[in-house]
Structure formats: structure tokens, C-alpha cells
Amino acid sequence: MVDKGITSLNVKVINRNKVYNCIYKEVFTSKQQIANKLQMGISTVSQNIKSLEKDGLIERNGNFDSTGGRRADIIQIVRNARVAIGVGILKKYVFIVAVDLYGEIIHSVTLNLPYESSRDYYKTIGDKVDEFIRTNQIKPESILGVSIATQGIISSDGQSVSYGVIMGNHEMKLSSFTEFIPYPCRLEHDCKAAAYLELWKNKDIENAVVFLLNRNLGGSFIINRRIFQGVNMHGGALEHLCINKDGPLCYCGNRGCLETYCSANTIENASGMEIQVFFENLRKGVNSCVQIWTDYLDKLAFAIRNLSIIIDGHIIISGYLAPFFTEDDISYILRAANSPPFPIERDQILVGTYGQYTPAAGAALHYLDEFLQTV
């Protein structure tokens, strides 16, 4: 008897989850469409719709055009019934975003807050997250969690940073944040978070190499729709690919890493301009900027060409610089990176749109996936 009770409870939970996920995937649907899609009895669908509606997770919003008879209600999820918060931490900046259940950024803020390894710093982050939640009137009970993406390799148990030369954040621990943030928290390497965002956005990606074109360069590999970690969690760290053994010194101690040519910092240092200003001048045709950018694209194309041979999949250009890329830039890379017999087609290259918020948003998406599996 007990077993039977548990089984029927499980079926109830599974059906509710199926109905919710069906509505989620269809975006706009009707009771009959759900019943058809799931091959589920209309009364079971009705019960679950009522239950989900009562919990504020779905809503009826208008009617479909009538095809004779009563016009069916349009059913959709309540997009902001749950919200995930992402925090992106760089050496000099902090980015905070809130994403709705479809992973769209609904609120964001950029803070000028230099990193320091102190309890005060983590307290400030906690205060800023709290302020962000209050300013944007996000209901605390709707918050699934706060996901923190930072520069640095994260230990395999997710509790601390194991390699953090750029920011000097070797001491960073998940517990440093949870002391001041009263929600579930997780810590993630920003490159992996960026890759997660691309997986989320592009359901047809199987294998890809992700270039995170941030102030510092980052990267990751997606293999069979999983983010490749490696034994020491630094799999895919393409920023330290050596492309010129006599090149400039990299922060890792080696010379000629891709980082020293393709980070946004390199462009700022070479041009003496902030990124926004650099691109304004570049698009006006200022010679020195054109020269720096051409050099940048050449080096990027060189890495794309080599990594494309290994990964034989999508090439994803993501992060801070991605929204500055034009179609001409992509064409240039394609021409420079193409080398028969392993050509790269235009549709293999994807360009991210989240800019500086990419790691924060990508990190936040983990909580949405958890929610969708358990709702």
C-alpha cells in the first residue's frame, strides 16, 4: 500500500512537471494543445493547470482566434515567477544581473568595485546584491539563487578558487560570499559560465570552442553538449595557447600566449583608448585603430583556425567584445582562418550578444535548469 501511495504521488509530480515544461517550451499554448503534445487526458491537464496557476507559475492571457466553438485560453508561464541572480566579478568591476525564467536579463548593473581579498569586500558585494534586489523590487521569495562567476579556476568541489593570478583571488571561497548573501549561492569560473550561456541559447550546439573576449581572454570547449573541464579544471584555457614563443610576457609567466594579443586589455593598451572609444574611432576609419584591429583579428583567426581543426564544430565569439563585431569582421576571420581541406562555414560562427554580462548571466542559468527539472 505504501509503495502504491509513493508511486501515485510520483506520477502526480511528474505530470505537473511535464505540463509546466510543455507550456514553457511552447511559450503560448492551450489546454488542448498540451493534452495533444503530452498524450495526456484533458482532465489531468486541467488539474495541473489549476495547480500551477494557484502557485502563480502560469497564467492565462487572452484567447486564441476561434476556429469554431469556444475560443481557447492562451496559457503561458509567468516569466518572472522565479528569478536567478548572477554576479560577474572582475579585477576592477562587478556586474549583477537578474534573469527571468527564459534566461533574459531583466535587470542589470555595472559597479566600479576593485577586488580586494578582505571581508569588507565580500560584505560590500552582499550589500550591493541586496540593494540590487530592493531597487528592482525583486521579491525575495522568487529568487532561486545567486551564482557568482569570477576569473580564476574553481576547485572541483566548487568551494574555492584554485588558480587566480589575474585578480590575486586565490583566497576566494564560496563561503566568503554566503556569509553575506542569504540565498543559495554557487561559484563558477567565468569562462565556463559563458559557455553555459551559449549552450542554453543554442540548442543545436554539439561541439564548440568558446572565445570569451573579455578584458582578459578566456575560453572553453563544449564537447557533446558538455563543458569540458579536464583533470585540473583548466581544460579549454585557450588564452594560454602559445602563438609566438618570443612574444610579450603573459601574466602566467610564459611568452606569446593568445592572451597577450587577443584580450580587450591589449587593445586598450595598444590604442591608449577605452574600448568604447576605440571602436568608435575604428568604425570612423582611424588608421591606427584599423591597424590594431586587423592585427587582433589576424591573431584570433590564427587561433580559430587551429582550434577548429581540433573541435570541428561551432566557433563562439562571446563576452565583452562580441557585440562590437560586424559582419565584415566575421568575413575577415573566415577568409583568414579558412584553410582547405578544413573550411569553416559562416553558420559555424556564432556571436554572443550579452557583452560584459555574459559570465554573470551564464552563471545564473544553472538555477533555472534546476528549477525546470524540479518544478
- Positions touching Zn ion (CB under 5 A) are 240, 250, 252, 254, 257
The three cell numbers locating residue 213 = 573576449
Within 13 Å and on the Cβ side, how many CA atoms surround 91?
9
Whichever of 165 and 372 has its CB closer to Zn ion, that residue is: 165
Residue pair 239/217 in contact (Cβ under 8 Å)? The answer is yes
End-to-end Cα distance, the chain: 26
Q: Toward Zn ion, which CB reaches closer, 41 or 248?
A: 248
Please identify, using beta-carbon distances, which residue of 234 and 305 lies nearer to Zn ion.
Answer: 234
Comparing CB distances to Zn ion, the nearer of 108 and 214 is 214
Nearer to Zn ion, 178 or 266 (CB): 266
For residue 250, the minimal CB distance to Zn ion (Å) is 3
Directed axis angle between helix 42-54 and helix 31-38, to 10°? 120
Angstrom CA distances, 313 to 186, 238, 304, 305, 365, stand at: 30, 16, 11, 12, 23
- Least distance in angstroms from the C-beta of 244 to Zn ion: 12
Q: Which residues contact 263 (CB under 8 A, 6 or more apart)?
A: 213, 214, 215, 216, 217, 239
**Smallest separation, CB 243 to Zn ion (Å):** 11
CB-count burial class (<10 Å; 0-12, 13-18, 19+) for 31: middle
Nearer to Zn ion, 166 or 360 (CB): 166
| Lookup result for grid cell 584599423 | 290
CA-to-CA distance for 193 and 200, rounded, in angstroms?
11
Nearest to 148 by CA among 354, 359, 375, 372: 359
Closest CA to 102 of 215, 201, 190, 1: 201
Task: Give me the least distance between CB of 240 and Zn ion, in Å please.
Answer: 4
Question: Whole-number minimum distance, CB 340 to Zn ion, in Å?
Answer: 31
Tell me the longest C-alpha to C-alpha distance in the chain: 80
CB of 237 to Zn ion, least distance (A): 9
What's the closest the beta carbon of residue 261 comes to Zn ion, in angstroms? 11
Residue 150's SS3 state is: strand
259: closest CA among 214, 319, 308?
A: 214
Residue in the structure block whose three cell numbers are 481557447: 72
Residue 214: CB minimum distance to Zn ion, A = 15
CB nearer to Zn ion: give 250 or 300.
Answer: 250
- Nearest residue (CB) to Zn ion, 87 versus 262: 262
